[in-house]
Homo-oligomer: A and B are copies of this chain.
Amino acid sequence: MQRRLLQTASYSLLKRHRCVGSGFARLNVLPVASYSTKTVPLTAETYSKKVQRDPKYKQLDEKDLQFFKSVLPENSIITDEDDLLFYNEDWMRKYRGQSKLVLKPKTTEEVAQILKYCNENKLAVVPQGGNTGLVGGSNPVFDEIIISLSSMNKIRSFDPVSGILKADAGVILETADQYLAEQGYIFPLDLGAKGSCHIGGNVACNAGGLRLLRYGSLHGSVLGLEAVLPDGTIYNSMHSLRKDNTGYDLKQLFIGSEGTLGIITGISILCPSRPQAQNVAFLAVSSYEAVQKVFVQARRELQEILSAFEFMDNTSQKLTAKHLGLDHPIESGDFPFYVLIETSGSSKEHDDEKLETFLGNAMEEGLVEDGIIAQDEAQIQSLWSWRESIPEATTIGGGVYKYDVSIPLADLYGLVEDVNARLNDAGIASLEDESKPVLAALGYGHIGDGNLHLNVSVRKYSPEVESVLEPYVYEWIADKHGSISAEHGLGFQKKNYIGYSKNDTEIKLIKEIKNHYDPNGIMNPYKYI
């Protein structure tokens, strides 16, 4: 099939891109700073005013250990302090718990035995997937026992006619997707942390990611679940039917429950056919107004083939260039905004034609200043890396405050501008001056979903910076009727802020459900609600 090249004069088509994809940065568990050089302060100390250990929880003793040893083999139990660190800390290196025990069950029955014992003995637990969360939700705050799903990592079955995958919760997202690729299917979720995160953790956090625009939310694509309730009950609801209207859809409560109702041990999920053709265009845009116009036009003209519409501001690209050590793919200048558009379809020829018509129109109308289209898979990966490397790039100075929010489109970028103004007013931000605690606030995210990632890149975490940001950011969002957590969840970070997004009745009903399923409160305490 012949690739027709767009002939618009001002359009620079990428021929040989410098950075080839395969080696490119995915979000990994460890950020820039290395383990040995810096100790993450204990969450219990950093937030001593906010949270104290609840004495109702039992402290782990030898008898408890004996019980766990009767359930699990020795290599599924971690008690060594150095080994525990990996599980106690989050990847942003913002939170550190003090758990003395990690359990790695291999079967649902083992999870059930463990939870039943913990519930009866009031031992608090934290379920942990790939430990890639961004709100401290999967790390202990005090001495909670960590139950890691990493040893439950089997694909259970796949039906190539219906496209339904059944798998253990601990399967890594990328592994699941690679398995599906061989069958001509795709996992209906993709995100930067795919190389580490678990599909069970994705469901527990209702992850959104890069292609929600196309494949919808997990509330629609998850068909069944297996979960263990705090009392050890195994809720086996691993259905594989696209339609099933027999009773309340209880599995939905677990989607986005962040390990506070039980532990998800298996999922059944509907996977779409893998697109036969894919295109990625990277565009330079001169204003946020133009970004919105390009989006509305893309949705109209690319409709059924549009699979991602991501935007990035100038600062995010500056930090990413520094992090990757590369020149930006758009060489003709420094632009306020960049947009990544991906199309996925069944005919390369048709998709090329639609994309080129769309881009031609957008340039003619002056919405797009410059842009490139990837010419092969390596270039597709390379362009995506300029979006997917941002989370790592923002930690370049040492740390990052992450706010993942939903805001009506027209107002969305205003939050980044207002936060930067506020940081500058406080005199605490500078990209160059290393004595300032903050580098800058920057924004990127999924325009198609009204989802902004506001990142405040810092040289160190400090209460001073935090007090400039919070509750200001939450108040700003509540004022626009947005959500303080679009896809990252509440976790530890946002536990006290749910009132900015939910009313009193909603919060009351949520608390009732928590008490209904976990009356002893052993599941992931100090978080969520």
Instruction: Tell me which residues from 442 to 491 in chain A have a Cβ below 8 Å from any Cβ of chain B.
Output: 446, 449-451, 481-490
Contact (Cβ within 8 A) B354 A243 = no
Residue from B253, B302, B451 in contact with A248 in the complex, judged by beta carbons closer than 8 Å: B253
* Given A273-B299, A299-B273, A350-B350: A243 touches B505 (CB 8 Å cut-off): no
* Chain B residues whose CB sits within 8 angstroms of the CB of A234 once the complex forms: 505
Residue from B241, B347, B489, B501 in contact with A354 in the complex, judged by beta carbons closer than 8 Å: B347
* Chain B residues whose CB sits within 8 angstroms of the CB of A241 once the complex forms: 406, 450, 482-483, 486
* Chain B residues whose CB sits within 8 angstroms of the CB of A252 once the complex forms: 219, 249, 252-253
* Chain B residues whose CB sits within 8 angstroms of the CB of A314 once the complex forms: none
Q: How far is the CA of A488 from the CA of B244 in the complex (A)?
A: 9
Instruction: Tell me which residues from 206 to 232 in chain A have a Cβ below 8 Å from any Cβ of chain B.
Output: 206, 208, 212, 216-217, 219-221
For this chain, the copies found in one complex come to: 2
CB nearest neighbor in B for A301: B346
CB nearest neighbor in B for A353: B350
Residue from B255, B273, B501, B514 in contact with A246 in the complex, judged by beta carbons closer than 8 Å: B501
* Chain B residues whose CB sits within 8 angstroms of the CB of A354 once the complex forms: 346-347, 350
* Chain B residues whose CB sits within 8 angstroms of the CB of A303 once the complex forms: 273, 275-276, 345-346
Q: Does A426 contact B (CB under 8 A)?
A: no
Q: Does A126 contact B (CB under 8 A)?
A: no
Residue from B237, B247, B486, B487 in contact with A498 in the complex, judged by beta carbons closer than 8 Å: B247
* Chain B residues whose CB sits within 8 angstroms of the CB of A245 once the complex forms: 205-206, 208, 256, 483, 485-490
Contact (Cβ within 8 A) B235 A505 = yes
Q: How far is the CA of A292 from the CA of B161 in the complex (A)?
A: 9
Contact (Cβ within 8 A) A219 B450 = no
* Given A250-B506, A304-B344, A510-B248: A242 touches B450 (CB 8 Å cut-off): yes
Q: Does A162 contact B (CB under 8 A)?
A: yes
8 A-B pairs in the complex with CB atoms less than 8 angstroms apart:
A161-B409, A241-B450, A242-B449, A244-B483, A249-B253, A273-B303, A304-B345, A350-B353
Beyond A161-B409, A162-B408, A245-B488, 20 additional pairs, beta carbon < 8 A: A161-B292, A216-B220, A235-B505, A235-B506, A236-B503, A241-B450, A241-B483, A242-B449, A243-B449, A243-B483, A245-B490, A246-B484, A246-B501, A247-B490, A248-B257, A249-B256, A250-B506, A252-B253, A304-B346, A350-B350
